[in-house]
Amino acid sequence: MKKFDGKVAIVAGGARDIGRAISEKLAAGGAKVVVNYFSSKADGEATVAAIKKAGGTAIAVAGDMTKQADVENLVRATQAEYGDAIDILVNVVGGLVARKSLAEMDMEFFESIMRLNVTSTFLTSKLVTPHMGEGSAIVNLSSLAGRDGGGPGAAAYATSKGAVMTFTRALAKEFGPQKIRANCVCPGMIATTFHDTFTKDAVRANVAAGTPLRREGQAHEVADLVAYLASDESSFITGASVDINGGLSFS
């Protein structure tokens, strides 16, 4: 028997990079996975196809997790396919969008980052938790930036990711009596399109060289940690923000 047999998992932002690795990991453990994507139907369908090819169960559902109507549709689609109960929620949705100094930022940009990284986590948590029962788990994705303030031009992103950690602690306290756990994962430098887009190769090389393990992390390693926090193996862990950065920073 696999550890997620009979469980239903929603992975918000589950179609590419770390999200895809998480979707595939949960499905490999026996979960029925809902892969949410926003802009790329091809990524969503490719992730579902990979899961099914490996013998797993998954569907792809489009939606902007910053919009309540889209999150409501995600919940409806999940229940129509797999029944009323939802056991695992993983919030991967988020991003840097652009590197901007404080002088370069306007209110519209700052608020857009908050919506993307914090509002999305709030809405999915608010609308999914009524369908979660004892033993369910929420895992949110924060960042090392939420602990150390991030790199140049990442003030808004770092602030939003710090908020995700605090929100996770609040969820742990609110839903602990219902035996629903909430934890957070804080990745450092992980080899994904995020850094392909926003981090120069020389900077990545310097960061890897300064990391005790002397390399960047891989998406599947983050997925392994998420799966642990979503499983009964971590049944007495809640409210934690767990670092995964190769020793680059200690909290």
Residue 132 corresponds to which tokens in the numbers above? Answer: 């979660």
- As beta bridge partners, residue 9 has 33, 88
Could you give the CA distance from residue 206 to residue 38 in angstroms, rounded to a whole number? Answer: 33
User: Can you spell out the DSSP letters for 21-34?
Assistant: HHHHHHHHTT-EEE
Judge contact between 231 and 2, C-beta under 8 A. no
99 to each of 13, 194, 195, how far by Cα in Å? 21, 12, 12
Please tell me whether residue 10 adopts helix, strand or coil conformation. strand
- Among 172, 153, 158, 148, smallest CA distance to 117 is for 158
Q: Catalytic residue among 37, 82, 157, 228, which?
A: 157
Judge contact between 174 and 231, C-beta under 8 A. no
- The yes-or-no answer on residue 228 being catalytic is no
Phi, psi of 246 (to 5 degrees): 70, 15
Handedness of CA 150, 155, 161, 163 (dihedral sign): positive
Judge contact between 138 and 186, C-beta under 8 A. no
**Among all chains, which residue has been given the structure tokens 């889209």?**
70
Active site residues: 157
